[in-house]
């Protein structure tokens, strides 16, 4: 069964303190891995798509990387406005095009 | 920038009543989805829709639920005979084949 596990569940950082969020996945075949940001009471906001091991994507203070078993979302010098829940989702090559989400990492950046 | 729009943003309904949640997907997308998120829990797949028919549905998506694309722009989720446990955020999403999905801001459904 396709599965996504994210860690840690919650993370508190001081402003400027860099860290990484982990997304481990088990799929029969990976069509794509997706990172989203979700603010309270809002819908997931798309950040990155990764398709193959070794791929990296970057946007402002965020950088996503992918291996054959996991993905990392690196946050460099975070600011309070980066506080949100970060969601990882995968799309498998088996069956249809649904996205399977992990439980997310709640990030709090303190000023 | 194109976006997925959902209405209403908040719906309160009596247990046993029917509700219709509405979505306008991004116009050149071919795949449409409904997901739900119970407070504090993960985003759960309900159903995907492609080429005017359901392509996959989860175990949650039983006979109580139905989806429809009544015209070229709208995509609806109908929940018949609502139960207390149907209270959740419902998200519509749309996407192209093999690419990311874009989500709406959600409808908060409260069943009382």
Distance from the Cα of B70 to chain A's closest Cα (Å) equals 22
CA closest to B44 among chain A residues? A101
- How many Cα atoms sit within 13 Å of A55 on the Cβ side? 14
The span from the CA of B36 to the CA of B34, in Å, is: 7
CA closest to A47 among chain B residues? B100
pLDDT of amino acid A94: 85
Supply the Cα-derived Rg of chain A in whole angstroms.
14
Question: A23-53 b/e with 16+ CB inside 10 Å = b?
Answer: bebebeebbbbbbbbbeeebbbebbbbbeee
Query: Which B residues, 25 through 64, put their C-beta within 8 Å of a C-beta on chain A?
Result: 31, 33, 35, 41-45, 48, 50, 55-56
Q: What integer is the mean pLDDT of B55-79?
A: 94
- Mean pLDDT estimate for chain B: 95
Q: What integer is the mean pLDDT of B62-66?
A: 95
Phi/psi of residue A81, nearest 5 degrees: -70, -5
The span from the CA of A75 to the CA of A63, in Å, is: 7
The span from the CA of B104 to the CA of B106, in Å, is: 5
Instruction: pLDDT band for A40, please (50, 70, 90 cuts).
Output: very high
């Amino acid at each position: 069964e396709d599965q996504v596990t994210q860690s840690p569940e919650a993370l508190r950082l001081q402003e400027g303190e860099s860290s990484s969020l982990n997304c481990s996945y088990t799929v029969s075949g990976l069509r794509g891995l997706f990172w989203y940001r979700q603010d309270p009471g809002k819908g997931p906001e798309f950040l990155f798509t990764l398709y193959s091991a070794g791929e990296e994507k970057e946007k402002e203070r965020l950088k996503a990387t992918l291996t054959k078993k996991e993905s990392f979302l690196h946050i460099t010098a975070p600011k309070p406005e980066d506080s949100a829940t970060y969601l990882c989702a995968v799309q498998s090559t088996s069956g249809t095009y649904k996205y399977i989400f992990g439980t997310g990492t709640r990030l709090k950046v303190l000023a | 920038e194109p976006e997925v729009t959902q209405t209403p943003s908040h719906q309160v309904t009596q247990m046993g009543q029917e509700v219709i949640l509405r979505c306008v997907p991004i116009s050149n997308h071919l795949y449409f989805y409904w997901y739900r998120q119970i407070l504090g829990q993960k985003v759960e797949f309900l159903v995907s829709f492609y080429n005017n028919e359901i392509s996959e549905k989860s175990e949650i998506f039983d006979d109580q639920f139905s989806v429809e694309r009544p015209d070229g722009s709208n995509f609806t989720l109908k929940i018949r005979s609502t139960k207390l446990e149907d209270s959740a955020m419902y998200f519509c999403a749309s996407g192209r084949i093999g690419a990311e999905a874009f989500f709406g801001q959600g409808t908060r459904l409260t069943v009382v």
